Amino acid sequence: MMKPLKIAVIGAGAAGLATAREFKKEGHVVVVYEKSDRVGGIWAYDPRVEEDPLGLDPNREIIHSSLYRSVRTTIPRELMGFLDYPFNVKDKNGVFQAFPGHEEVFQFLNNFARDFRLMELIRFSIQVVRVEQLENGKWVVEGKHERDGIIVNSEEWFDAVVVCNGHFTQPKLAKLPGIEKWPAKQIHSHNYRVPEPFRDQCVIVVGDGPSAQDISLEISTVAKEVHISSRAPGINVSKKMEKFDNLWQHPKIKYCYKNGEVEFEDETLTSADAIVHCTGYKYALPFLKTNGVVTIDDNRVGPLYKHMFPPQLAPTLSFVGIPNRANNFLMMQIQAEWVVCVLSGKAFLPSKEEMLEDVEEHYKQMESMGVPKHYTHQLPLNQVSNSSNPKD
């Protein structure tokens, strides 16, 4: 039996909890770093918003959660659980919802952490500021926390690090012509919580994802007008739109004028009070120091073998939860199992050269299909089993 390894897990959201549990099952020593005072990651709803509504100020206090108050899951409850821990949380009325709200998901993750005694592994209220490999192959994790009003830094050494810090916190903004001189209010959906601030206003919602659909419909209940601008103006809100006579769909924004008007590519013009950017998020790894081995380029974290292992630093550095559209708990658990199997000597990765070749082949396939680089990690649900197989 191999000697237990000392493992650092960055983040106590769903990915971090799944990873910690798998390492604990194998008898390894696990330390989970969590910058907030509770588990749940993105599912820990925070009514606060950032001072910078667009999230552009690098010195702002960052609010991790991007949940709005009414958010529900976009995949059914049956797919929200882990392999051996189903999602059996009822809502406040004692009902199993087909698509649970964030309160039930948060409770589910707390139950998971409690039932598998993961809380004792977590160091809360510690912000990780540096993760770096030492000359001896070990990894140093530097964290900072506040004690009696004083910022205290600490360092600890590990055999391996698994990054599970999520990717729904740093706003990504679309380039809108003329927006730099447009005078009215702008926010990113990261800082949207409730519709009331938009009462009786004319609001433009930019985006074509689930949050754009949810937020535009919700704002329509209080706003004077809501205009949805998207690359594909046929986004699936048509049936729900029938309930509102104040909601319109448009193609992309053609120009934002300094008098407050906004022109769409369909030549329509409106004078708006606010723009809500539902344009997604950027991956961010400000603490990871790899001398350029792992980079983020146009929202592509790479090179990563199967979205998990950087070939030059694997297996002692890995990532769980990077894929975007397939970002469910089952996928995270499968990824965590693979990482644990490799580090426990029960499974083996290809050579560094073979992993790099696989990554490059994936990039070439994307390019040949005309898929933009920033879609690298948008893994469809039906590819989860092919991307992470600990038995291979």
Assigned token pair, 227: 């205009």
Assigned token pair, 339: 């990482």
- How many domains does the chain divide into? 2
pLDDT in tens, 81-113: 999 999 999 999 999 999 999 999 999 999 999
Residue 316 resides in a domain = yes
How high is the pLDDT of residue 2? 81
Assigned token pair, 55: 């999230």
pLDDT in tens, 159-198: 999 999 999 999 999 999 999 999 999 999 999 999 999 9
In this structure, the answer to whether residues 125 and 21 fall within a common structural domain is: yes
Respond yes or no on whether the N-terminal peptide bond of residue 303 is cis (omega within 30° of 0). Answer: yes
Residues of the chain with pLDDT under 70: 1, 233-242, 325-327, 380-392
CA distance 167 to 353: 28
Compute how many other C-beta atoms are within 10 angstroms of the C-beta atom of residue 31: 18
Q: Nearest-CA neighbor of 44 among 109, 93, 135, 94?
A: 109
Q: Which domain holds residue 29?
A: 6-39+118-169+281-387
CB 253 within 8 A of CB 206: yes
Nearest 5°: phi and psi at 189?
-60, -20
In this structure, the answer to whether residues 30 and 144 fall within a common structural domain is: yes
CA distance 163 to 41: 13
In this structure, the answer to whether residues 14 and 122 fall within a common structural domain is: yes
In this structure, the answer to whether residues 22 and 151 fall within a common structural domain is: yes
Provide DSSP, 292-356.
Answer: TSSEEETTEEES-BTTTB-TTTTTTEEESS--STT--HHHHHHHHHHHHHHHTTSS-PPPHHHHH
What letters, b where the CB count within 10 A reaches 16 and e where it falls short, cover 303-331? bbbbbbbbbebbbbbbbbbbbbebbbbbb
Alpha carbon distance, N-terminus to C-terminus of the chain: 21
Q: Of 239, 254, 277, which closes a domain?
A: 277
Nearest 5°: phi and psi at 294?
-110, 125
How high is the pLDDT of residue 320? 98
CA distance 190 to 215: 11
Assigned token pair, 267: 């030549």
pLDDT in tens, 193-218: 999 999 999 999 999 888 999 999 99
Residue 105 resides in a domain = no
Q: Nearest-CA neighbor of 105 among 72, 82, 83?
A: 72
CA distance 258 to 271: 11
CB 256 within 8 A of CB 177: yes
Residue 62 resides in a domain = no
In this structure, the answer to whether residues 124 and 179 fall within a common structural domain is: no
How high is the pLDDT of residue 47? 97
How high is the pLDDT of residue 239? 60
Q: How many CA atoms lie within 13 A of 122 on its CB side?
A: 26
Compute how many other C-beta atoms are within 10 angstroms of the C-beta atom of residue 392: 12
How high is the pLDDT of residue 240? 65
In this structure, the answer to whether residues 234 and 337 fall within a common structural domain is: no
In this structure, the answer to whether residues 123 and 157 fall within a common structural domain is: yes
User: Looking at 21-95, which runs of residues are DSSP E strands?
Assistant: 29-33
How high is the pLDDT of residue 232? 72
In this structure, the answer to whether residues 266 and 303 fall within a common structural domain is: no
pTM of structure: 0.93
CB 198 within 8 A of CB 223: yes
CA 119 from centre of chain: 22
Residue 190 resides in a domain = yes
CB 28 within 8 A of CB 19: no
CATH code where residue 344 lies: 3.50.50.60
In this structure, the answer to whether residues 184 and 225 fall within a common structural domain is: yes
Amino acid identity, position 251: P
Residue 362 resides in a domain = yes
In this structure, the answer to whether residues 325 and 259 fall within a common structural domain is: no
Residue 55 resides in a domain = no
CB 109 within 8 A of CB 87: no
